[in-house]
Each structure stands twice: as C-alpha cells, then as structure tokens.
Structure 1
Amino acid sequence: MTAPVAFPVVTISDDLALATACARWRTCPAIALDTEFERVRTFWPKLALIQLCDGEYVALIDPLTISNWTPFAELLRDPNVVKVMHAAGEDLEAFLGGCGEVPAPLFDTQTALALIGKGVSLGYGAAVQLYFGITLAKDMARTDWLMRPLSDDQLRYAVADVTYLLPIWQDCAQALQQRQLADWHREDSEFAARRLQQQEPAEFLYRKLKAAFVLRGQQLAVARELCAWRETEARNHNIPRGHLLKDESLLLVAQKMPRNWPALSVLETLHPRALRVHGQAILNAVERGLNCPQAQWPAPVRRLLDVPNGKAAQDAMVAAVAAFASTRGIPAELVFSRRVLENLLLAIVDGQPYPPPMWQGWRRAAVQSALASELTSFGIALPDWW
C-alpha cells in the first residue's frame, strides 16, 4: 500500500476555530483520532492534545485552551462519522473525562487487524511498518505533553499518530467484509465504549484485589467497604486509587481491622498526609464492615488451584475455544484468553451473581455450548446467567 502524502497541519486553540472545524468534520465519512494525555496524579487521563485527520489535513487541538466542548462532543457522537482509532482504550477514557463523550461509531484498527489475521495486540507503529514499511519514532511517547510550547519532535510524533490511520481503516474494513467479520468487529467497538460508561457494582470491587484470597469472613466485609469507598472517592475527586489507599495497604487494613486512630497509624502503611486527610474515612469504612451481619459477609475469593479439577477444567475450556477459533481462522486469544477463561470459571464456582464483562455477544454465542459441555463434564453447575 502506498503511504499517504504529508498532510497540511493546522493548530486549533480556541472555541470558534474548533466549532468551525467540527462543522466541516461532520460532513466526512470518517476521521482518524488520537490523543496525548497525562495520568500521573489523576483518576481520569488529562487531555493534553487531540490529533485528528480527515484525509485532507491534520488538526492538532489544544485542550488546554478550549472551554466549549459542545461542538466536538456532538462530532464524537455523530452516527454518520466513523471515528477511526488504534488501541482506543485509554483514549476513550481521555475523551470521556475531557469532553464528556465517547467516540461512536468507533472503528478500532488494532481489533480489526487481529480479526483479519495480521497480529494480536499489534501496536500502531508495527501496523504502519506492516502496511507502509515506515518506522515511526517512539522517543516522544513519554514526554511531558502538558508543557507548552510543544517541541517540533513532539508535534511530528503527534501528527504521525493519525497520518496513516484512514488507509489502514479502509483496508481493514474491506477485509472484515470479505471474511464476514464486520458485525463482530462492530460489536467489539460498541462494547468498548459501553463498558467504559458502565461502572462495576461497588460491592464486588474487592474481588479485583490481587491477594483477596488471603482474606476471610469479616475481613472481606471490611475490604468490600474499603474498595467501595476508594472507588467512589477516586472517581468523584479525580484522584488515583493508589493515592488514596494502595492495594497492599488496603489488604493490611482489612486484615487488622483497626477501629481507632492509634490502631490505624501503627500499621505504618499510609503516608502521614494520606492518614491525616483520609484516615477518618478509612476508619468509617472499617466500622461499616465490622457492623456487617455475618450472614452478609462475602464468600472467600478462590484461586484456580483452590477449585477441584480447576486446572483440568480450564485446559478443556482453552481447547474448546481453540477449536472454534480454528474453524473461523482467527486467533484463539482474541475469542477468550486463558486468563479470561480462568475468571469465567472462578465466577461460576464462586456463585458470582453476574457474568464477567466479556461473557456476551458473539463470543458467548460462539462457544457457550462447547464450554457448557466441558464444564458439566467436571461436575460444575452452570449459573442462571449462563
């Protein structure tokens, strides 16, 4: 494929220029999007730059000087304009936090490339190399994008991030249609946006703690309250979870269950400032957990090795997924990775009242019957949400 010519580059740094440009972009069939952001001291990524290519020029939008995002938000949700992005995950969060909107309809070229057999989790630079034989510079990825003025190297890096997306999109879209996979890709793109906007119930967040399996009984009730408090506080005040209470500190507090300041401070897991600012809220969460009736304590969080025949059941699930993927000529890990299948199995045996996020849509329909057969062969009862 021939590489696109160098596009003219414009900078948009005021509300009027952005509104005018958005009116033009809403007449385009597709636009390429990318962002640069910082996420060191905030829960949400902080937008530092938005790059957009419409096939005629590249626009660099400066979020630090824009106050009215309404025209851009309307563009992001315009159903007639496809938003082409690569590995859109955190960029979607940046758009939601910065502009209040998630791009839709979305076409993620990384997901498309995996479906058409060009590589799972292929980075943007690797995709450009694959299509055009061009090696992109990587040295600007970790620079400070909130500084002004941006350097020439940063600007070149930012422009390159959207220069090649539209021709890759066109090739991927055609290949997906030929392989009859366009509906699956569309579903995945819609799921990415929907999942971002749907919060997991706060009462189940404790299950995400890496070492939650060490907690028992009332300790789990305390951990549940601490995780729910931390998530709400982080989201509402745009603070990283770890700045409120790191996972290892949260686990220790849940194990020791301190009921007063001396008992909390002696744990020495909190920075003095964090203890001063959030100590009482932490103690309140502990108290709520301690007051939880025993009948409402969470069940222990199990690992795969705690499940009888768990490893064998997981292996059988992996084989069933691989068999299906082979019939469709797609990578098995694109359907369900071994890790996702482990989470699915644990959700079943632990009696989790809702399915893991990935257990839906075309993936569920494709392997539901085969996995049911394997699981029941190991004596594992399927839940109502199956």
Structure 2
Amino acid sequence: MDRSRSRSTHSAPADLIGSQSKFDDLCEEIAQAGIVAFDTEFVSESYYRPKLCLVQLATPDGSYLVDPLAVPDMSAWWALMADDKTTIVVHGGREEIRFCQRYAQAMPRRLIDVQVAEGLLSRGYPLAYKNIVSKVMGKTVGSHETRSDWERRPLAAKQLEYAVEDVEFLLEIWKRQERSLQKLGRLDWAFAEFDRLIQTVQQEQDREGWRRLSGFQRFSAKEQVVARALYEWRDRTAELHDRPARVLFRDDMLLELVKRQPKSVHEMNLTRGMQRRDYQLFADEIIEAIRQAQSLPADQWPQNSSGRSGPPLDDVLSKLLSLALSNRCADMNLSMSLVGTMSDIDELIRWHVLDGQKGALPKLMDGWRADVCGDLLTDLLDGKVSLRVSNPRSDAPLRFDRCGE
C-alpha cells in the first residue's frame, strides 16, 4: 500500500520537546486532561538497564514527543504516571511499567493496556499495535522502526513520524474497546487484568532473579547456593560496568559452572568457552564467589520458593483440560493465551487433585476466570462433566454435558 495515502488521515509529525519549560507545560496539560497515551523508545542491548531515549505522549488535544536525553528533570511525568488521577493508556506496557517503577519508585495506579483489552474482545492475544489499529480503527500504520538507533541525535524525521504513530490512536482505541467491553459485561474483567499486569511486573522485579534461570528447580540444594552466588556476582558486576548481565556473562556458562563448581581458575578454564578474554578478566572473582557459596552453612542456603511444585503431572489430564479451555475461549471469543497457559492448567490440577484445594487459589480459579473456565475444568476433573464433539465445523466443536443428564 502507498504509505503517503495510508497516512493521509494521520496527524503531522510532532515537534521534539527538549526544554524543561515546555516539558513542564506539557505535564500540566496532561494533568488537566486526566488521560494520556504513553509509549517509549529505549536501548537495552548495551546497558545494564534499558536506557530511555524517547517518550511519546498523546492527550485528546494532540501528540507530543519528549527527548529524555535533553530534558533535565522528568519527575513531573513520573509523578503523573504514578498518581491516582491520571489514566495512562499503553500497548504492551510492561517496559513502561518498569520505567515508572524505576523513576517514580512506585507502580502506575490507573493503567489501561489496549493489548490486554483486545484479548478480552477477540482471539489472537497478544496482537501487535499495527494489527489493533487496523482492526479497531480501520487504519494503517507503518512497521515499527525496530532497527532504529534511538540513542543517536539528531533523530531522523522518519523516526519521529513512526514514534508519533505509536500513540496517536491509543486513546480512541481504548474509547471503542471500553464501549465493547461494557456491552459484553467484561469491563470489570479488563480492569482486573490491568491490575494483574502491574502486579506481575512488580513480582518479576521483586522475585530473586536467580530463580528465573533455566532449570533452577532441578538443582540440588548445594547447586542452588552456588547458582545464587554466581547470579548475584554477575548482577553486581554488570551494574558496575553498566552492561547487560547476560552479555557480561552468558546464562549457559553460569549454569555450567554451577554444575562443575571448579575450585581454581585452572579447573574453570577446562570448561569450553571460559577462555574468552573478557571472561578471564573476572576469573578470580568467579572462583571466589563459588568458594564463598560452598562455605555457607546450610541455614544460609536458599529457601524453597512459595510456588507450587510436585511430581510431574499426567499429560493426559493437562491436554484434556487444555482442549476444554481452548473450546470455551473459542465459544466466548476470548484469547486463550490471555485466559490461561499450560502452566496455569497444571497449577489448577495440582491444587485441585494433589493439594486438596488447599492454599492460594490458582489463577484459573481466581476472579472472572473462575466463571469463564475454572468451574468447568474442576467439574471435568471430578467426573461431573463429559465432553463430546457437537459440531466439527465450528470453532468451538466440543459440547460439555452434565453426567447423568
């Protein structure tokens, strides 16, 4: 499609705000409006934490671009994002939430994510921004400048043009989604999901990072204490050098050292890949971290996480419930990937079958999900419901019958 024609209804590219006074005026305008669309451009591959390079904002009166590398003090914006009066509309806003937590030392209070909202209105979550714009607005936006250098100045006119597109439709999209959600009786679901998204991001930040290492649950207790020590060493060192932790020292190398637990640099260098010059710079520190971890008494070893664990589940049960969940979501025109994953299904089975329904409610039994699918899935587990093929041509071909009916 000809881009010049597809953009004929778009607003003109916004000027780049780089002065404190203009930025403060914009924040006052946002406070008066009470609602704003928000997006960011950042660089993450070169720094310990993503470097914020551009802020895109849109009020009902217009779209704005802010240069955070030029504006000395952005605190007025972060205060707005974290207050309880300003509604913030984003698309796939995990990184925006993290920026708020980092700079405001608080989480957003009134956040709307149109990607989440669309998952409650249709199948296909998570939809890209351009797909939501096309679906909801019937408009076309360009592919994102995924390879742009957002840190480099001056920014090119084309970069600014694309950046404006990322926010200029968000408010209208949410306005239309809100009407649709209200009509379907799902508006409360949406607000619950926005809160869940914020809580999930916060929990990811609060959770001990080493527990996110691939396969950590298979480590013995002695291996876990070394994994924790090496992870914390890497994190401290990456922050000191302002480099991404996984670039400084790869996960697979860290995990290999957890298994081997070398006692000297010589032993460590027998591990393939450890001969790299940049790794050798930290060789003594790595060995010392391992040594200190090995010397810790058992009462200082990591404690088991609070998450549910147990023996492997029978795949048949998981697959059966997955079919049921998929059918229910298709029948209700919901995105299954938003409603629940295989991990959520396994969590439900453990809670209902193995734990005797004790402990915290699993995700699929909490809130609106319990009404949508939780009761159906537990009834299947209890043998109270049977399923059969009703219409093989339908998107939801299965029918669930009460046993005895």
TM-score under structure 2 length normalisation? 0.77
> Which of 139, 154, 163 is residue 149 of structure 1 equivalent to?
154
| Structure 1 CA distance for aligned equivalents of residues 12 and 60 of structure 2 | 8
- Give 3-state SS (helix, strand or coil) of 2:15's partner: strand
Paired residues of 1:223 and 1:254 also in contact (CA < 8 A): yes
User: Aligned residues: percent identity?
Assistant: 24
Deviation at 1:359, TM superposition (A): 6.8
The whole-number CA distance in structure 2 between the counterparts of 1:360 and 1:290 is 43
User: Partner residue of 2:91?
Assistant: 86
Alpha-carbon spacing, 1:365–1:99, altered in 2? closer, same or farther (3 Å): same
Indicate how the Cα distance of structure 1 residues 114 and 357 shifts in structure 2: closer, same or farther if over 3 A, else same.
Answer: same
CA offset at residue 65 of structure 1? 1.0
**Corresponding position: 1:31 with 2:56:** no
Contact kept? 1:33, 1:51, Cα under 8 Å: yes
1:216 offset after TM fit, Å?
Answer: 3.9
Q: Is the counterpart of residue 129 in structure 1 residue 154 in structure 2?
A: no
Matches within 5 A, 1:196-207: 196-198=201-203, 199-202=205-208, 205-207=209-211
Contact 1:218/1:297 (CA < 8 Å) preserved in 2?
no
Contiguous gaps of at least 5 residues in structure 1: 378-386
Q: 1:181 aligned to 2:186?
A: yes
More displaced stretch, 78-87 vs 267-276: 267-276
Tell me whether 1:264 sits opposite 2:268 in the alignment: yes
Partner of 2:259: 255
Written as runs of structure 1 = structure 2, the 5 A alignment for 1:39-188 is: 39-97=44-102, 100=105, 102-117=107-122, 119-138=124-143, 140-188=145-193
The code of the aligned residue for 1:334 comes to L
* Partners of 2:265 and 2:283 within 8 A in 1: no
2:320 paired residue among 302, 316, 323: 316
- What SS is found at the alignment partner of 1:63? coil
How far apart are residue 12 of structure 1 and its match? Answer: 1.5
Distance 2:53 2:120 in 1: 31
Please give the alpha-carbon distance, in whole angstroms, between the structure 2 residues aligned to 1:6 and 1:313.
53
Q: Distance in 2 between matches of 1:372 and 1:275?
A: 54
* 1:323-375 deviation digits (Å, cap 9, x = unpaired): 65467542322210224435776899999x99799578526644555555666
Residue 56 of structure 1 deviates from its aligned partner by 1.7
TM-score (norm 1): 0.80
Larger radius of gyration: 2
Distance 2:115 2:336 in 1: 16
Point out where structure 2 has 5 or more consecutive residues left out of the alignment.
Answer: 1-7, 384-405
Cα deviation, 1:9-49, whole Å, max 9, x if unaligned, reads 23211222211211111011321111111101223221110
Matching residue of 2:396: none
Letter in 1 for 2:128: G
Superposition deviation, residue 285 in structure 1: 4.0
Offset at residue 265 of structure 1 (A): 3.2
Equivalent residue letter for 1:91: E
CA distance in structure 2 between the partners assigned to 1:166 and 1:4 by the alignment:
16
| Paired positions, count | 368
Deviation per residue, 1:226-246 (Å, 9 max, x gap): 334445655687542213431
Amino acid at match of 2:251: D
Aligned counterpart, 1:334: 338
Aligned equivalents of 1:354, 1:227: Cα separation in 2: 30
